[in-house]
A and B are shown apart, each in its own frame.
Chain A
């Protein structure tokens, strides 16, 4: 826990830090104030420095109050997390120029990570389960036999791309479009039911009011 933030701040041993250990926890807080946050003057940090003392907790609570930490009421982990984030924020603010450029590097680093977490990359193409699966979808799409299941999969991809198929890709627009279409159709159906009932009522009233007469004697054909 907190490994990333600690290493980002340059903590000497972020790997081994155990936040459950009271002593380690307290020393990290002290380290943060000493090295990064520096909210107090050096002589005011005495309370935090007494790591082994019972009064440390009071000093810590006062410290959080002075920093206006929103997490001061939370668990110890939440409190430390906020302190770490605050420190990172300060560190960044001190060296905006430097870290601006670092950003690009980070995204590059994360991109391959995402791909490696893709389950398809870990597929075993020679496994019988894979072969059986390809066999099934190929039969559905009407793709002829081929010794290499990967070849059949490629053919399937081609067919899906070129032929219109019933399932549209799940984009964000679709996720909103589909439910709203359903609502619209339900609304139209409701309206139709209402109109039908109105029409029935009108027909019922017509039995009282209607008297459609014609009188052929009135008719006169013009020029």
Chain B
């Protein structure tokens, strides 16, 4: 890392508008593109304080400040457009959380980096609706919450209540939500309301270590720890009546359930395994990065492809996991209200992933390009 005074560092940052900062080339060595991040005044202060603290002498260890991390990502081979920091930006492993970066698939030097996806592969959020009103839930909210806890175990080391054997696991990894559908854990229309229809087609369970599968097997249908949650929520404001109506959110006080969870220990192990492989690949292919945490491999290398296939399997695991919790939530509600989940209108509104790398078509400088987009938010 380049060591400069805080005032010197600020010369590389430019506030383009009240909510957007540009990170100019030279802020970190070898930047291929510029960086950009979006913040409000509160977040702006946090970002700059983080940088100021890092400039003080003797500050080593821990994560680099987010601004530096965005700039280091901008120095990765094959990056196009800009290295983008979204409003939730804060430092993470290698890539900052909230850092998005796209790499040109047609450039043989382009890389894929597990740090750009994160350890909780395909962590995501899904929202279920109900036709219940807050006043229906209030009298039994203790029992309902307890019922949810009974169905969905939480915390580090928790184990799920859906029986799975090794063969089920292999199939689930390959099929994603299609497995949940076949086994009857989800409704057919759930798939339509899920990113990628709940299945990454390039998943290859044979690229996943036995250790990862062993860690993942008992954890299916569990929430995990940290910032993960399954919450019973109430609509308290509708901004766009038409759009909300299309999603089946009709009125203030309507009860919803939001689930935020990921691939548990399975994804963590996939990422850890890949980092080891990639350090070797970097030495072999002579890939230089500004930060050791930005371990990566060329997309077309064996390590890069293996990671993408294993990552896709982990993504499928996460979707099966959230689908299982959806099933359990529907069960819990059905028991409490003595009604079928159908009659409670417990449809999935949407499931969106925020820790993935996906191959997508985008227009770059007026030309259509195939990109590997890393999203870590």
A124→B94 CA distance, assembly (Å):
80
Binds A, one of B126-134, B136-144, B151-159, B243-251: B151-159
B-chain residues with CB within 8 Å of residue A171 when the two chains form the complex: none
A213, B188: Cβ atoms closer than 8 Å: no
A116-165 at interface with B (beta carbon < 8 Å): none
Q: Which residues of B contact A (CB under 8 A)?
A: 149-151, 153-163, 181-185, 188-189, 192, 218, 222, 225, 327-328, 331
Of the candidates A210, A214, A215, which one forms a contact with B182 in the assembled complex, judged by CB atoms under 8 Å apart? A210
With A213-B163, A219-B150 as contacts: A202 and B188 at CB distance below 8 Å: yes
Known A210-B184, A212-B184, A212-B327; judge A218-B155 contact (CB<8 A): no
Q: What residues of B have a CB within 8 angstroms of the CB of A195 in the complex?
A: 192
Contact surface of A with B, Cβ cutoff 8 Å: 195, 198-200, 202-203, 205-206, 209-216, 218-223
Taking the closest CB of chain A, its distance from the CB of B372, in whole angstroms, is 28
Give chain B residues whose Cβ lies under 8 Å from the Cβ of A222.
Answer: 153-159, 222, 225
Chain A residues within an 8 Å CB radius of B156: 222-223
**Given A195-B192, A223-B155, A218 and B160 touching (CB < 8 A)?**
yes
Question: Given the complex, which residues of B lie within 8 Å of A220, measured CB to CB?
Answer: 153, 157-159
What are 29 A-to-B residue pairs whose CB atoms are below 8 Å? A200-B188, A202-B181, A205-B182, A206-B182, A206-B188, A210-B183, A211-B183, A212-B183, A214-B151, A214-B162, A214-B328, A214-B331, A218-B159, A218-B160, A218-B161, A218-B163, A219-B158, A219-B159, A219-B161, A220-B153, A220-B158, A220-B159, A221-B153, A221-B155, A222-B153, A222-B157, A223-B155, A223-B156, A223-B225
Chain A's closest residue to B159 (CB) is A220
Closest to B151 in A: A214
Q: How many angstroms from the CA of A191 to the CA of B185 in the assembled complex?
A: 25
Does the CB pair A215–B189 fall under 8 Å?
A: no
Whole-angstrom distance between the alpha carbons of A32 and B5 in the complex? Answer: 91
Contacts of A219 in B (CB 8 A): 150, 153, 158-161
Residues of B within 8 A of A210 (CB): 182-184
Known A214-B162, A215-B161, A219-B150: A209·B184 in contact at CB below 8 Å: yes
A205: nearest chain-B partner, CB-CB = B182
Could you tell me if B154 and A221 are in contact, using CB atoms closer than 8 angstroms? Answer: yes
Residues of B within 8 A of A212 (CB): 183-185, 327
